[in-house]
């Protein structure tokens, strides 16, 4: 069966510090991968998606970036965090059926 | 107009009652539809897909109305554990990309 792992689960970072969130999927090959952010009391905002290794599409211009160094690995990064980057970050995958499966999320607080 | 719209609620419903909420979508090219459930501070989880003919899973019934461009979720005999936010999701192909659009969710509180 397929599983998705995301870490760290919680982190508190100062403004201006770097960020790296990792996500891996097991049990499937060539999945579509996504990074979403959910700010407090708000809906899900798509940040990046990837249909293959090295293929990243950005939905919202901001100080975040994503990389897909391996088929089942998706990384979200920032060189300098802003206060507005605080939120709940969710990695997800799907195949051609369209149903999305989410990781457990990473809760980021920028102080 | 937003592509996917939901009443944010909250819907405060006594235990055992039936509750229904709708989700409207604006793009007639939308192809597949889903309901997700999200508990507080947790990730969304797929509740059910929504098929053109409607589908039922236990106490939950989902329906699609393409003519009026909405989907619905009906929960019968509601339980305290049904308290959550319910997200409507619409999926369509655009320029060979799979676009997945989330509604902002409807909050449901089941009252004892």
Q: Give contacts of A102 with chain B, Cβ < 8 Å.
A: 43-45
Contact assessment for residue B3 and residue B89, using Cβ atoms and an 8 Å cutoff: no
Calculate the CA dihedral of residues B92, B103, B5, B65 and round it to 10 degrees: 50
pLDDT tens track for B30-86: 888 999 999 998 999 999 999 888 899 999 999 999 999 999 999 999 999 999 999
Both structure tokens of A35: 């990074």
In DSSP notation, A65-103 reads EEEEEETTEEEEEESS--GGG-EEEEEEEE-TT---EE-
Asked if B87 has any chain A CB less than 8 Å from its own CB, the reply is yes
Q: How many residues does chain A have?
A: 111
Q: What average pLDDT score do residues A84-105 get?
A: 90
Calculate the CA dihedral of residues A68, A106, B97, B21 and round it to 10 degrees: 170
Could you tell me what percentage of chain A is helix, strand and coil, using 3-state DSSP and rounding each to the nearest 5?
A: 5, 60, 40
Min Cα separation A17/chain B (Å): 24
Disruptive mutation site among B100, B104, B107 for chain A (greatest number of A CBs within 10 Å): B100
Contact assessment for residue A73 and residue A24, using Cβ atoms and an 8 Å cutoff: yes
Task: Give the β-pairing of B11-14 and B106-111.
Answer: parallel
pLDDT at res. B91: 86
Measured CA to CA, the distance from residue B10 to residue B19 in angstroms comes to 12
pLDDT at res. B98: 66
Which residue shows structure tokens 């909420």? B21
Q: What average pLDDT score do residues A41-67 get?
A: 88
pLDDT at res. B95: 54
User: Among candidates A78, A11, A27, which has minimal Cα distance to A48?
Assistant: A78
DSSP structural state of residue A60: S
Sign of CA dihedral B19, B20, B21, B23: positive
A102:B45 CB<8 A: yes
Whether the bond between B10 and the residue before it is cis, its omega within 30 degrees of 0, is yes
pLDDT tens track for A68-79: 999 999 999 999
pLDDT at res. A41: 73
């Amino acid at each position: 069966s397929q599983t998705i792992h995301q870490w760290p689960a919680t982190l508190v970072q100062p403004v201006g510090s770097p960020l790296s969130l990792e996500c891996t999927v097991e049990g499937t090959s060539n999945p579509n991968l996504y990074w979403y952010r959910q700010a407090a009391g708000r809906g899900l905002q798509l940040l990046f998606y990837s249909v293959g290794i090295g293929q990243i599409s950005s939905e919202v211009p901001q100080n975040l970036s994503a990389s897909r160094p391996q088929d089942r690995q998706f990384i979200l990064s920032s060189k300098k965090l802003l206060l507005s980057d605080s939120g709940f970050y969710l990695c997800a995958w799907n195949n051609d059926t369209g149903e999305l499966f989410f990781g457990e999320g990473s809760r980021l607080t920028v102080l | 107009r937003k592509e996917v719209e939901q009443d944010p609620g909250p819907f405060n419903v006594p235990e055992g009652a039936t509750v229904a909420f709708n989700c409207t979508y604006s793009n007639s090219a939308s192809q597949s539809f889903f309901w997700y459930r999200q508990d507080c501070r947790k990730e969304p989880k797929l509740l059910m897909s929504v098929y053109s003919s409607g589908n039922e899973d236990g106490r939950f019934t989902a329906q699609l109305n393409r003519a009026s461009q909405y989907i619905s979720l009906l929960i019968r005999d509601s339980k305290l554990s049904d308290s959550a936010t319910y997200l409507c999701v619409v999926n369509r192909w655009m320029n060979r990309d799979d676009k997945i659009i989330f509604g902002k969710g409807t909050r449901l509180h089941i009252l004892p």
